[in-house]
Amino acid sequence: MMTKAYIEEAEKALLHTYNRYQVVLERGEGTWLYDIEGKKYLDFVSGIAVFALGYNNKDYNHALKEQIDKLIHTSNYYYNVPAIEAAKKLKRVSGMDRVFFTNSGAEAVEGAIKAARKYAFLKDGKTDHEIIAMNHSFHGRTMGALSVTGNPKYREAFEPMIGNIQFAEMNDFSSVEALVNDKTCGILLETVQGEGGIYPATQEFLEKIKALCEERDILLILDEIQCGMGRTGYMYAWQKYGIRPDIMTTAKALGCGVPVGAFLMTEEVAKRSLTSGDHGTTYGGNPLAAAAVSKVLDLFEENQILENVNRVAPYLETRLDELVKKYDLLLTRRGAGLIQGLVADRPVADIINKALEKGLLLINAGTHIIRFLPALVITKEEVDQMIAILEECLE
């Protein structure tokens, strides 16, 4: 069966919730993907910041195959070695104290919200606590995660939301200050906003929020689902700012393709929030998912992933800045490390479709921004190849 026939079948069977590109992908190798007709694509999406190590990484595949032959799943009512190993390693690279594994990013956000509410509940016994989130944020599609997502378009049809959520403006501290009151239990933001348009938090903004949180015993919750796992050149983006959150979320590249996420917290929060019976999941941190996390974290070190990001990202920035200078329709570049956005004066869908035709995968962030999320093993040569194709599409 060829592409068109598959797409027709897909449209008959799958719920129409995605505007999919007209391609059926079959296999991957490094930073390249192949469709069912054998056409090759340079991939600057990596499954939306998931496949950090590149496709078909033999060490990663081998570790998963070994685990499949041993044990794929047991209940969280029993211990398993991969989850213990994965949690230890995740603690080490994050500098956080306690880990709860989930199956997705949205679930990690759900857990973070519950932990913040429980923390406040244990302090004053009240059930009217508020969370401050940011406009233009994205935290996922489940009801809790949607409730803190600062894009009314995503929320409207599904109202009512979980309630007691306020929205401030990213990088505008006074807008946060204006909302804080005695009910505020958490301030939640992406360290670098992804879907909402690639807006990194400023140093000043994060510092002021951290100070405010300490002063009023409010929990700082950083969503590192997209910008974490090495993408900014730091294992977690907040490490660059020197500001440790009380709770953080991680997912996407955490399992490099095996569905897994986590929320982590400090010991202080762990001691005063979720406890026995408060939270759970059937799959979260099962042996297969945990083996993936464990191997991914090993390979980040062995393959010097952060070093590669810090080598290639400045080059990507330079090459993107050249495009901004050269093409009037490009207004600016924003980003940190290997999460970058080119802001255009018009919708970018046509450019992205042209790129697809020419064998380059790109994705948007909002209608006017081309987003770049390559595998973290990308090379400068591949950056050059990407720029050459993109230029053809911009002409």
Ligand X SMILES: *Cc1c(COP(=O)(O)O)cnc(C)c1O
Binding site for ligand X (CB under 6 A): 104-106, 109, 138-140, 190, 194-195, 223, 225-226, 251-252
Residue number, nearest CB to ligand X: 105
Rounded least distance, CB 18 to ligand X, Å: 12
Give the residue with the Cβ less far from ligand X, 132 or 394.
132
Pairing assessment for the beta strands 98-102 and 130-134 based on DSSP bridges: unpaired
Q: Which segments of 156-201 does DSSP mark as H helices, in order?
A: 173-177
Count Cα atoms within 13 angstroms, Cβ side, for 393: 24
- Least Å distance, CB 41 to ligand X, is 21
Which of 106/206 has CB closer to ligand X?
106
Interatomic CA distance for residues 41 and 19, integer angstroms: 19
Output the smallest distance, CB 226 to ligand X, in A: 3
Nearest approach, Cβ of residue 136 and ligand X (Å): 11
Which residues of the chain form beta strands (DSSP E)? 25-29, 32-35, 40-43, 98-102, 130-134, 165-168, 184-190, 192-193, 199-200, 219-223, 247-250, 261-265, 330-336, 339-344, 360-361, 363-364, 369-372
Nearer residue to ligand X within complex by CB, 138 or 173? 138
Closer residue to ligand X, CB minimum distance, 210 or 252: 252
Closest contact distance (angstroms) between CB of 66 and ligand X is 25
Give per-residue burial for 9-31: e unless 16+ CB within 10 Å, then b. eeeeeeeeeeeeeebbeeebebb
Cβ closest to ligand X, residue 41 vs residue 199 = 199
* Residue closer to ligand X, measured from CB, 114 or 183: 114
CB of 115 to ligand X, least distance (A): 16
Q: Closest Cα partner for 57 from 298, 394, 343, 361?
A: 298
Distance CA 28, CA 20 (A): 19
DSSP state, residue 273:
S
Of 30 and 228, which CB lies nearer to ligand X in the complex structure? 228
Identity of the residue, 171 or 379, whose beta carbon is nearer to ligand X in the bound complex: 171
- In the complex with ligand X, the residue whose CB is nearer, 251 or 269, is 251
| Shortest distance (Å) from residue 26 CB to ligand X | 23
Query: Which residue from 232, 280, 231, 283 is spatially nearest to 254, judged by alpha carbons?
Result: 231
The pair phi, psi for residue 256, each rounded to 5°, is 50, 45
In 3D space, the residue among 269, 282, 308, 337 whose CA is nearest the CA of residue 30 turns out to be: 308
Are 57 and 234 in contact, with CB atoms under 8 Å apart?
no
By three-state DSSP, how is residue 223 classified? strand
Least Cβ distance, residue 357 to ligand X (angstroms): 27
Residue 250 CA to residue 223 CA, distance in Å, equals: 7
- Minimum CB separation of residue 131 from ligand X in Å reads 15
